[in-house]
A and B are shown apart, each in its own frame.
Chain A
Amino acid sequence: MAKVGSQLRLDGNGAPIWLLLELTYKCPLKCAFCSNPTELDDLSDELSTEQWKKVIHDAKAMGALQIGFSGGEPTLRKDLEELVAEANQLGYYTNLITSGIGLTTKRLQRLKEAGLRHIQLGMQSSEPTTTHWISGVDCFDKKIKIAKEIKRLGFPMVLNVPISKINIHLVPEIIDLAAEIGVEYLELANVQYYNWALINRDQLMPTQEELITAEAQVNAARLRLGDKMTLFFVIPDYFEGRPKACMNGWGSIHLTVAPDGTVLPCSQARSMKHLNFPNVRKQDLSWIWHQSNEFNLYRGDSWMKEPCRSCSEKTTDFGGCRCQAFLLTGDAANTDPACSKSEHHSLIIDAVQHANNTSNTTLIAREAGWVNLELEP
């Protein structure tokens, strides 16, 4: 998922300034757009508290500044407060990325005491029915309650709402809801097609017309709301003709550690099955970042083929997303097919067309064993 951080303004000078800890892949929700791996069964061996602390210390020594506690649902880890406290003491800016399910007032207070700075709450919609449909769980009321509690306790808050065909018509209502809760930032995050979202691509992809309408609604709301709330809405790469500057480049500033200790340039990189990503259980984090083959594979631009190699835009978009290039063309070193200059761009055009022509509304829910959820009539 694109995060607010994708608009960051700091060159890491070679340091992994963003550290994302996926503490667990477990989650009470079953969101059809989930960016976690699809083979959840095989990945349940989580790092211990002490192992996570070592990651937090090692990354700090390497120059990490921002830390995200994510998942799955990170509040399922009983040691979350302990890890937040450790990170805060070291001087990190601490972010919790949560579904809100599993949070209580008591837990929020303990996280505040531990030094948690910011909470990003994921929501699916502005009302219960679509929320239930997309997440597979009846959780709307609980989320609203916890959102208000987060604000009551004075946390700065990003409300992150993945936008898809299922909820794009509710964008005005979602904005109103965010304003009512009083969040500082609303990220209307157009779903990106990796893992579970790629499986559900036909059912999730909006039409270009729907995106243009939503963008106009967002712009109107920006004028109306003024300084009260910052709204993020970016037309997705499938419709832009240019790829996203994914992760600011491979192994540039982002470092993700998966629940089992596997170290990744981004959460989605695990979908590149031909790569054997290193693991903090076996290798030193600094060695992994600076020396490992996997982190150097697509670093810089010497790996690029044409048309990227001679393209004047290669320093702004870094050839797009390596995972998307791999998933759609079979070679991660190819130009991201979202780029109209890619020889594989027809894959994107065809995918949009195919999705627009589908009448299938059955979502595959994120779960260890796949389950179908039927759309309510």
Chain B
Amino acid sequence: MHNKSSISAACFFNINESFMFRWEPSQDAFVIMYPEGIVKLNQTAGEILSYCDGKHSVTDIAALLAKKFTASEDFILAQVNDFLEVSHGKGWITITS
């Protein structure tokens, strides 16, 4: 399942219902699980997906991460955007608005 569409800064997201996204203590990481597959996410990727709750836009997520990692918002926004496009391409997230 691969979706091809680009996302905009005002998009909101949810985790695709077919996927299970959660914190896994034994791996000390967020994981995403689907039919017979598992992906272990790095810290930033995990944080971004944890904001895919239908309440945060791309801009919101970038602002939250910029604050947390004390980095420039423009720099973070580009990275968040890239990762969300990959996640959307893999079918992990759906665009809600």
- Would you call A184 and B38 a contact (CB within 8 A)? no
Contacts of A158 in B (CB 8 A): 35-36
Contacts of B31 in A (CB 8 A): 10, 65
- Would you call A9 and B37 a contact (CB within 8 A)? yes
Contacts of A3 in B (CB 8 A): 36
**Which listed residue, A9, A65, A156, touches B35 by the CB 8 Å rule?**
A156
| Binary contact track B13-34/A, C-beta < 8 Å → 1, others 0 | 0000010101010110001011
- Would you call B35 and A10 a contact (CB within 8 A)? no
Q: Does A95 contact B (CB under 8 A)?
A: yes
**Chain B nearest Cβ from A333, distance in angstroms:** 29
From 1 to 48 in chain A, residues with beta carbon under 8 angstroms from any chain B beta carbon are 3-5, 7-11, 13, 15, 17
Q: Does A230 contact B (CB under 8 A)?
A: yes
**Distance of A13 Cα from B27 Cα, bound (Å):** 8
- Would you call A230 and B33 a contact (CB within 8 A)? no
Given contact pairs A91-B22, A230-B1, A4 touches B33 in the complex (Cβ within 8 A)? no
- Would you call A10 and B20 a contact (CB within 8 A)? no
**Chain B nearest Cβ from A100, distance in angstroms:** 16
Given contact pairs A63-B26, A65-B24, A227-B3, A8 touches B37 in the complex (Cβ within 8 A)? yes
Q: Does B40 contact A (CB under 8 A)?
A: yes
| Binary contact track B41-59/A, C-beta < 8 Å → 1, others 0 | 0000000000000000000
From 25 to 84 in chain A, residues with beta carbon under 8 angstroms from any chain B beta carbon are 62-63, 65-66, 68
- Would you call A7 and B35 a contact (CB within 8 A)? no
Per the CB 8 Å criterion, the residue count for chain A at the interface is 29
- Would you call B36 and A66 a contact (CB within 8 A)? yes
- Would you call B36 and A120 a contact (CB within 8 A)? yes
Which residue of chain A lies nearest to B26 when distances are taken between CB atoms in the complex? A63
Q: Does A239 contact B (CB under 8 A)?
A: no
**Chain A nearest Cβ from B24, distance in angstroms:** 6
**Distance of A91 Cα from B4 Cα, bound (Å):** 31
Q: Does A318 contact B (CB under 8 A)?
A: no
- A-B CB contacts (within 8 Å), total count: 67
* Chain B interface residue bracket vs A: 10 to 19
- Would you call B37 and A156 a contact (CB within 8 A)? no
Q: Does B39 contact A (CB under 8 A)?
A: yes
- Would you call B36 and A9 a contact (CB within 8 A)? no
**Chain A nearest Cβ from B25, distance in angstroms:** 9
**Which listed residue, A66, A91, A118, A185, touches B38 by the CB 8 Å rule?**
A66
**Distance of A185 Cα from B27 Cα, bound (Å):** 27
From 265 to 291 in chain A, residues with beta carbon under 8 angstroms from any chain B beta carbon are none
**Distance of A184 Cα from B16 Cα, bound (Å):** 13
Which residue of chain A lies nearest to B20 when distances are taken between CB atoms in the complex? A93
22 A–B contact pairs at CB < 8 A?
Answer: A4-B35, A7-B37, A9-B37, A9-B40, A15-B26, A62-B26, A63-B27, A65-B27, A65-B31, A66-B33, A66-B38, A93-B20, A93-B33, A95-B35, A117-B20, A117-B35, A118-B36, A120-B35, A158-B36, A184-B18, A184-B35, A227-B4
With A93-B33, A227-B4 given, name 6 new contacts (CB 8 A): A9-B39, A13-B26, A62-B26, A65-B31, A184-B18, A227-B2
Seen from chain A, the residues whose Cβ lies within 8 Å of a Cβ on chain B are 3-5, 7-11, 13, 15, 17, 62-63, 65-66, 68, 91, 93, 95, 117-118, 120, 156-158, 184-185, 227, 230
Seen from chain B, the residues whose Cβ lies within 8 Å of a Cβ on chain A are 1-4, 18, 20, 22, 24, 26-27, 31, 33-40
- The 9 A-B pairs with the shortest beta carbon distances in the complex, nearest first, are A63-B26, A93-B33, A5-B36, A4-B36, A118-B35, A156-B18, A10-B38, A227-B2, A10-B40
